[in-house]
Amino acid sequence: MITIKSAKQVEKMRLSAKIAKGAVDLIEKAVKPGVSTAYLDKIAHDYIVSKGAKPNFLNYNGFPGSICASVNDEVVHGIPSKHVILQEGDIISIDMGAVLDGWHSDMARTFGVGKISPEAQQLIDVTKQSFFEGLKFLKHGARLGDVSHAIQEYAESYGYGVVRDLVGHGIGQSLHEDPNVPNFGKAGHGVKLAAGMTLAIEPMITAGGYKVALLDNDWTVVTDDGSLAAHYENTVLITKDGYEILTL
């Protein structure tokens, strides 16, 4: 069921989103060669807790980390570990959120580790811009497929793969709510959007094909062809006049 949030409920989500954004900002400063993904996880965990919130990924369906830390060909759900040490030239996607007074936020960013290749930087940049291309169609009365199609069209114009097996989602009092928000689709189709809806829109784009595989840990999703993957996500509110990005 799709829920429409009141002004008071949206304000609670803003506060949750601000905490998540603060944690990601700290992680961005800490990403460098020689750092473990477990260290990045601790940074996020400690910051979120210090603000009176909880990391909403921790123990979600058994997930063992406060963040997802996905390196290079890992698309999503990389498990933080003291054994995963970032190397010069890697890229890392951080996906995380907070829950405050029962209200969730969710966001993701991909960062370069030290000096990265022009090809890796372009993938990061295009993934981010594909999100904003989708937002050009996000408004009261539009169809969700308009947003999805714009993301897909932009990413594929660079020859990139748009992951099909993983999608964005509604968000609010649950981390994952209706509707699903694909990063691919047909314009003019899908759920009709309305003011008060809150969505986690999250392009997951690969430098190769769109097919993915699940590692033996039953969490981490990787590209099937070993190509690099990037991820960009924000929690977004649809308003009467357009939208508001809560995690920016």
pLDDT computed for residue 239 by the predictor: 95
How does residue 122 score in pLDDT terms, banded at 50, 70 and 90? Answer: very high
In a domain, 144, yes or no: yes
Residues 88-114: what's their mean pLDDT? 98
pLDDT computed for residue 233 by the predictor: 98
pLDDT computed for residue 86 by the predictor: 98
> Cα(first)–Cα(last) distance of the chain, in Å?
26
Residues 125-147: what's their mean pLDDT? 97
**C-alpha angle 84-46-71 in degrees, rounded to nearest 5:** 25
pLDDT computed for residue 147 by the predictor: 98
Tokens of 116: 């990265």
In a domain, 231, yes or no: yes
Number of compact structural domains in the chain: 1
Which tens digit of pLDDT belongs to each residue from 180-237? Answer: 999 999 999 999 999 999 999 999 999 999 999 999 999 999 999 999 999 999 999 9
How does residue 41 score in pLDDT terms, banded at 50, 70 and 90? Answer: very high
In a domain, 49, yes or no: yes
How does residue 136 score in pLDDT terms, banded at 50, 70 and 90? Answer: very high
- For helices 144-156 and 118-135, give the axis angle rounded to 10 degrees: 160
In a domain, 1, yes or no: no
In a domain, 86, yes or no: yes
Q: Kindly report the average pLDDT of the chain as a whole number.
A: 97
Alpha-carbon dihedral sign for residues 31, 33, 34, 38: positive
In a domain, 2, yes or no: no
Domain that holds residue 131: 7-245
User: CATH code at 105?
Assistant: 3.90.230.10
CA distance 124 to 122: 5
Residues 7-18: what's their mean pLDDT? 98
The pTM of the full predicted model, rounded to 2 decimals, is 0.96
pLDDT computed for residue 17 by the predictor: 98
